[in-house]
Amino acid sequence: MRPFIYERVSDWAAATQAAGGGASAPVSYLAGGTTLVDLMRLDVMRPQRVIDINALQDGRYGRIELGQNGLRLGALVRMADAAAHPDVRHHYPVIGQSLQLAASAQLRNMASLGGNVLQRTRCTYFRDVSYAACNKRNPGSGCAALAGVNRMHAVLGGSDHCIATYPGDFGQALIALDATVDLISPDGARTIPFAKLHRQPGDTPDQETMLRPGELIVSFTVPAGPWTRRSLYLKVRDRQSYEFALASAAVALDLEDGAVREARIALGGVATVPWRAADAEAALRGKTIDEQTAMAAADAAFAGAQGHGHNDFKIELGKRTLRRALRQAAALEI
Amino acid sequence: MANAAAPTPKANMGAPAPRVDARLKVTGQARYPSDTPVGNPAFAVLVTSTIATGRIERLDLDGARAVPGVLDILTYENTGELKGVKFGQGSSTSIEDLGPEIQQAGQIIAVVVADTFEAATDAASRVKPTYSEQTPSATFGSPGVTQEDATKVSPQHKHLPQAGDAEAAFAGAPVVIDLEYETPPQHHNPMELFTTTCAWTADHLTVYEPSQFVYGLKNGVAQRLGIDPDKVRVVSSYAGGAFGSKGTMTPRTAMIALAAKRLNRPVKLVATRAQGFTIATYRAETRHHIRLGAARDGKLVGYSHEGFEVSSRPDPYVVAGVEDSAQLYAFGAVATKVNVVHADRNTPGYMRSPPVVPYIYALESAMDEMAQKLGMDPIAFRRVNDTMNSPIGNRPYSSRSLMTCYDQAAAAFGWKDRNPQPGAMRDGDWLVGYGCATAVYPTHTGPAAARVRLKPNGEARVQIAAHEIGNGAYTVIGQMAAERLGIDLASVTVEIGDSRLPPAPVAGGSNTTASSCSAVKKTCNLIRARLFHAAVTANDGPLAGRSADDLMLQDGKVVANDGAGESFADIFRRMGVAVVEDYAEFVPDGLKPQAIADLYAGKVDMVGGSHGDKVMYAMGAELVEVRVHVLTREIRVPRIVGAFAAGRLMNTRTVHSQLMGGMIWGISSALHEATEIDPRYARYVNDNLADYMIPVNADVDQVQVILVSEVDHDVNPAGVKGLGELANVGTAAAITNAVHHATGIRVRKLPIRLEKLLQA
Amino acid sequence: MASVSTATVVPAFARASRATPAAANSGDARAPSDFTLTVNGRDHRLAVDSRTSLLDLLREHLALTGTKKGCDHGQCGACTVLLDGRRVVSCLTLAVAAQGRAVTTIEGLAKNGELHPMQQAFIDHDAFQCGYCTPGQIMSAIACVNEGHAETDADIREYMSGNLCRCAAYPNIVAAVRQARPAMKTASRD
């Protein structure tokens, strides 16, 4: 690990000031540390200053608030606390489950929600700096995964420059439910759709988010909707627990007399970013969920998918995961 | 409340005494080698090659040296004094140098030593090698691999089993199968990292390193440093899991010793998890071509098995498990062959049940396929071919309880409820499959020496350089001494894991209990004889004039069968001694007396298994239930039942844990474990515990272990067969067979991942 | 009552080369950070490299080697400790970031030689073989019970999945947690 200057801040102004546009050297925020310390130890991330923002926890960064219009989750809320929160579990089961099925109890105690959505890919060729070719680490160096061992890699949203999978789970729940992200920086506060937070790799896979230098996630707001209660997160993996998804689906349904009024669908483990499956949602609108309509939705969701060898199976697996999730969500007793 | 962890002993089984080291282990006081305090250590961090074959042209150390706190950097340019130790003669590999020739990815090319771990790590990341690189050959099928007949290149495998005319048998057999199987590379991944701490006092070196063979390491390090072995001490009081990975010396040890010598300061290395994949050994990938021929009634008439195993470029490491598989059933004719395939990889090595895991997986999968082809129940098929004599030379088994194991396991499992039709059993959205396979492991016994001291108050100390790797060595050695000396286990202090103690063999081949307990038993018998002699030859006293044959030790006394007795204290007083101490060397039948001298020199020879007039094997039957999701195809194992017979069991608690853990290892090797190789670079890409899958707690549900009584007087004086490597054998086949039963899909390449079951 | 000790990490010669002890924020990234940390009820005044993990601090500077390093990347759970009562992996916790907080390690469980009910349960159920993952398992298991995640075997298995055991003592670990659960509840009522 490279040396860095460690600073603790107690208010956001000091934080964003320390990390903001004027900072001459690479700066990272430290919350749970489960991504940052990991990647610093691997020499992938080399911040020269680390701004510990955990002392911000007492403000709105650390709260979970349920209101008429939706759910507000502070960015410094720990995954475990959000997953266990009765309001989250009752009104937004897909959020609780996506957090609950991620990582381990220890990591969920540490990791913040803000850090969670910013976690970096698990691609070996990214995480091991001794591989020369990684456009995400070294723009222009190539992508070793394209013709490499890519069982865990993405079949949706990739490019000729990068097929690294977005590894998170919570992000799928957020994007499915049309969440927004509240941000703050020395330039001021702004709110953006969560769907706009992550960038597909395209030809700049090193640029993973739309965050500006020094910008800090304050909270997530998840709008209320008739679909949030009939929601779930299904995660398919080799192990029963403590593993990243091979394929996952976040599904929320608003049914009327068995027919779909609104469907909200996002896919994980198969895409380069939290992946909203709008085509699948459209395919379901007005339909009753059965084997055939679920299959049609799954086909729509993966219409543009592309495998790269080892991960070819994820197209079929992803479809089956979505089919299973839809059938399960439709059958939920609310 | 019943405690499944401590089964009630049946005949020829010892009490489930709690581990004597348990308290230390649950309080954090058990000292693993890297826990040992040494004064003011410097910290070493390894730099490893990122290419698999080529040459270091230039090594830029400027950036590393500029890091404050860096004390020294070892490279090929300043380590020439390290001597080579041949593969197979104490070293795990011939790839020992830090360069400039690179023969494997992850070869150690520099050792950076600094005042702090942080500085050493920082500096290591700034070592910049420039290579001239060649295209490596990664594995089977890669251009540039070479293949050799194992019998020509492996001294341990000059002859492989053959019997009769297998070709003629197949030609005449009404039912023949001809199949190929494949297993992946696997890494031991003990939870403890590979560590080495070296400290010199004048010209004496102490090495703290987790080891399965302290005498081997002591002699190997001495050889590499060119010093007298008596000036090297190796201490490994506990190893945090080993599974074979700590059995032979790896190149790092001598490097750290040299670093400590150059600095005149203790040096401590804790290698990273990723480095552990290349600086030590692993289980290499294998391929198998199997043919079986049978009559319509299920009687086998022929078995042929050709194995292919990957090894490194320079070393012919080979496990040749046909030596064991060929003994297993009444095959009729047998033809076997093994090939070594050399690639640009680190040298493989022993990993839990090295020969039998891949070969029995292949055979037991084929047995299931043959049973299916014959339309027979797979257990019934094995019963038809059960035998008390090896088909190789018609030699008798010293004992064999395979079908008893099957009967007890089948009853507990409910095998009779199995619908033989694949795909016929289902529970909601989960397809259910039952499968079975045989577990088998050769019994090994090696030479060992022990020193035992008995005090008049009934306290004893046992010294033997055996190894605690989770096997319960402290406990079972203590139990043997307690039993022979007539004292409580709590009165016995056991000292092991130190090359200053009398030698014991490598903790490999599941021989520890057999060898060590035989040596301890022999030593205790000397003490018994001295006490008996003193008691019966006394002029007076309660036992004077009696026959020593009528005496025994009990509760700190020498007692006769009529109840007369004399305390140790009284006998010691008469003998005029403060303590009674003896040392004995145990050499199993079949080895030369020289074996003990060899052991002191770090060389170990063992008897048993397929060699000798009688064949010696521990056996078991494993029955497993798998569930496969009808849609998304996750594979889960909710239930596994194993019944095992392995001669005398010293402690049903430690035995239960080893067998239970072994079966879970088997589940792991069936469904999870595989080291993935990027063939372009001949590098391991999942070299961490997030990507190299082993089961987590949630993967394991019901694991039932049945201990089957078995008595075997032939194996060794302790009557112990050893079972640390028994239960993980065959499991992968049982699961393969169960997955087939659940889905109708036969997977012949491990691991069984869900994508292999996604076909429509 | 907490006592105070000072553990210094900077090697003697390096400290000598620096005229005054550097404070955090000095602008020198290699300067040690000064802070206090409570470990097993005892306050420690520390001056350590900002890069030092809580795990390395415990093992290399405070001689508390019961906490184990198994991966150094949050993938195995061997380094699990309690931080203000919550289980965390100490390898991904920067020591400096834990300043002012209370750490409990395996060495802090037994009171006056009497084992914690979880430690005793691990012995009773032979919930380990090699013992290397055991301190982390026990710390995790205690938190698992305290979190209320040990009410069913299925819960125990799931919530103990962050602690790998290569010897695969998993069923025995579940049995141990099951045994310790009521004993811990009784103890906490006392």
DSSP letters spanning B574-595: HHT-S-EEEEEEE--TTS-THH
Rounded to 5 degrees, what are φ and ψ at B403?
-75, -30
pLDDT of residue A24: 61
Structurally, chain B folds into a number of domains equal to 2
Residue A285, in any domain of the structure = yes
Name the CATH superfamily housing domain C117-189. [2Fe-2S]-binding domain (1.10.150.120)
Asked whether A324 and A250 are in contact (CB, 8 A), the reply is no
Asked whether C145 and C122 are in contact (CB, 8 A), the reply is no
Residue scoring higher pLDDT (B86 or B278): B278
Asked whether B284 and B311 are in contact (CB, 8 A), the reply is yes
Q: Is A242 on the interface with C (CB under 8 A)?
A: yes
Identity (one letter) of the amino acid at B393? Answer: G
Q: What confidence tens digit (pLDDT) does each residue in B134-183 have?
A: 999 999 999 999 999 999 999 999 999 999 999 999 999 999 999 999 99
Cβ-Cβ contacts under 8 Å for B171 (sequence gap 6 or more)? none
pLDDT of residue B1: 52
Q: Return the CATH number at A11.
A: 3.30.43
pLDDT of residue A22: 57
Class in CATH terms, C4-108: alpha beta
Q: Is B443 helix (H, G, I), strand (E, B) or coil?
A: coil
Token reading at B174: 């009404």
**Mean pLDDT across the stretch B396-404?**
98
For helices C170-189 and C117-124, the axis angle rounded to 10 degrees is: 150
Residue scoring higher pLDDT (B445 or C3): B445
Do B511 and B439 belong together in one domain?
Answer: no
Do B396 and B476 belong together in one domain?
Answer: no
Largest CA distance in chain A: 61
Q: What pairs with residue A219 in β-bridges? A: A74, A182
Q: What confidence tens digit (pLDDT) does each residue in C16-59 have?
A: 222 233 334 457 888 899 999 999 999 999 999 999 999 999 99
Residue A289, in any domain of the structure = yes
Q: What pairs with residue C81 in β-bridges? A: C88
Please choose, from the candidates B207, B269, B228, B250, the residue with its C-alpha nearest in 3D space to the C-alpha of residue B74: B269
Select the residue of C88, C157, C160 nearest A109 (Cβ to Cβ). Answer: C88
Do B491 and B431 belong together in one domain?
Answer: no
Mean pLDDT estimate for chain B? 97
B495 annotated active-site: no
Q: What pairs with residue B3 in β-bridges? A: none
pLDDT of residue C21: 32
Q: What confidence tens digit (pLDDT) does each residue in B568-618 have?
A: 999 999 999 999 999 999 999 999 999 999 999 999 999 999 999 999 999
Q: In the listed set B572, B604, B636, which residue is the last one of a domain according to the structure? A: B604
pTM of the model: 0.97
Contacts of B695 in chain A (CB under 8 A): 239
**DSSP string of B96-118, one letter each residue:** -S--SEE-STT-EEEEEEESSHH
Report the distance separating Cα C150 and Cα C169, nearest Å. 17
Structurally, chain A folds into a number of domains equal to 2
Report the distance separating Cα A167 and Cα A333, nearest Å. 30
pLDDT of residue C20: 31
Q: What confidence tens digit (pLDDT) does each residue in A78-119 have?
A: 999 999 999 999 999 999 999 999 999 999 999 999 999 999
Asked whether A157 and A315 are in contact (CB, 8 A), the reply is no
Q: Where in chain C is the domain with CATH 1.10.150.120?
A: 117-189
Question: What's the pLDDT band for C189 if we cut at 50, 70, 90?
Answer: low
Q: In the listed set A13, A35, A55, which residue is the last one of a domain according to the structure? A: A55
In the set B364, B581, B725, B755, the catalytic residue is: B725
Q: Is C35 on the interface with B (CB under 8 A)?
A: no
For residue B571, the surrounding DSSP H or E stretch is: helix B568-575
Report the distance separating Cα A321 and Cα B652, nearest Å. 44
Select the residue of B30, B273, B668 nearest C131 (Cβ to Cβ). Answer: B30
Asked whether B284 and B348 are in contact (CB, 8 A), the reply is yes
Q: What pairs with residue B113 in β-bridges? A: B44, B72
Residue A80, in any domain of the structure = no
Q: Is B30 helix (H, G, I), strand (E, B) or coil?
A: coil
**Mean pLDDT across the stretch B392-402?**
98
Indicate yes or no: CB of A106 within 8 angstroms of CB of C158: no
Asked whether C77 and C162 are in contact (CB, 8 A), the reply is yes
Token reading at B613: 């007039």
Residue A305, in any domain of the structure = yes
To the nearest whole angstrom, how far is the Cα of C143 from the nearest Cα of chain A?
9
Q: Is C98 on the interface with A (CB under 8 A)?
A: no
Do B558 and B655 belong together in one domain?
Answer: no
Token reading at B164: 């009769």
Q: In the listed set B584, B604, B624, which residue is the last one of a domain according to the structure? A: B604
Q: What pairs with residue B337 in β-bridges? A: B306
Contacts of A116 in chain C (CB under 8 A): none
pLDDT of residue A17: 79
Do B747 and B616 belong together in one domain?
Answer: yes
Report the distance separating Cα B760 and Cα A316, nearest Å. 10
What residues of chain B, 255 to 284, have a C-beta less than 8 Å from chain C? 270, 272-273
Question: What's the pLDDT band for B759 if we cut at 50, 70, 90?
Answer: confident
* pLDDT of B732 above 70: yes
Residue A221, in any domain of the structure = no
Report the distance separating Cα A161 and Cα A291, nearest Å. 36
Do B625 and B600 belong together in one domain?
Answer: no
Rounded to 5 degrees, what are φ and ψ at B302?
-160, 150
Indicate yes or no: CB of B754 within 8 angstroms of CB of A124: no
Indicate yes or no: CB of A317 within 8 angstroms of CB of B754: yes
Token reading at B132: 């001239």
Q: Strands, DSSP E only, in B496-616?
A: 551-554, 557-560, 565-567, 580-586, 607-608
Q: Return the CATH number at A292.
A: 3.30.390.50
Lookup result for tokens 């992803």: A318
pLDDT of residue B96: 97
Question: What's the pLDDT band for B2 if we cut at 50, 70, 90?
Answer: confident
Q: In the listed set B604, B635, B667, which residue is the last one of a domain according to the structure? A: B604
Residue A216, in any domain of the structure = no
- Residue B584 structural domain: 446-604
Select the residue of B23, B191, B660 nearest C132 (Cβ to Cβ). Answer: B191
- Residue A298 structural domain: 231-330
Residues of chain A under the 50 pLDDT cut: none
**Interface predicted TM-score (ipTM):** 0.98
Do B452 and B597 belong together in one domain?
Answer: yes
For chain C, the distance separating the N- and C-terminal CA atoms, rounded to the nearest angstrom, is 21
Residue B752, in any domain of the structure = yes
Token reading at C127: 């919930």
Do B450 and B567 belong together in one domain?
Answer: yes
Choice among A12-16, B11-15, B308-312, B707-711 with the minimum mean pLDDT: A12-16
Residue A248, in any domain of the structure = yes
What residues of chain A, 23 to 52, have a C-beta less than 8 Å from chain C? 30, 33-34, 37-38, 40-42, 48, 50, 52
pLDDT of residue A57: 60
**Mean pLDDT across the stretch B391-415?**
98
* pLDDT of B495 above 70: yes
Q: Where in chain C is the domain with CATH 3.10.20.30?
A: 4-108
pLDDT of residue C10: 29
| Chains contacting C (3 or more CB pairs within 8 Å) | A, B
Q: Is B700 on the interface with C (CB under 8 A)?
A: yes
Residue A44, in any domain of the structure = yes
Q: Return the CATH number at B555.
A: 3.30.365.10
Report the distance separating Cα B41 and Cα B663, nearest Å. 40
Select the residue of C71, C170, C179 nearest B688 (Cβ to Cβ). Answer: C71
Give the C-alpha distances (Å, rounded to integers) separating A278 from A178, A197, A202, A209, A270: 12, 17, 20, 21, 15
Asked whether A240 and B696 are in contact (CB, 8 A), the reply is yes
For helices B731-743 and B356-374, the axis angle rounded to 10 degrees is: 30
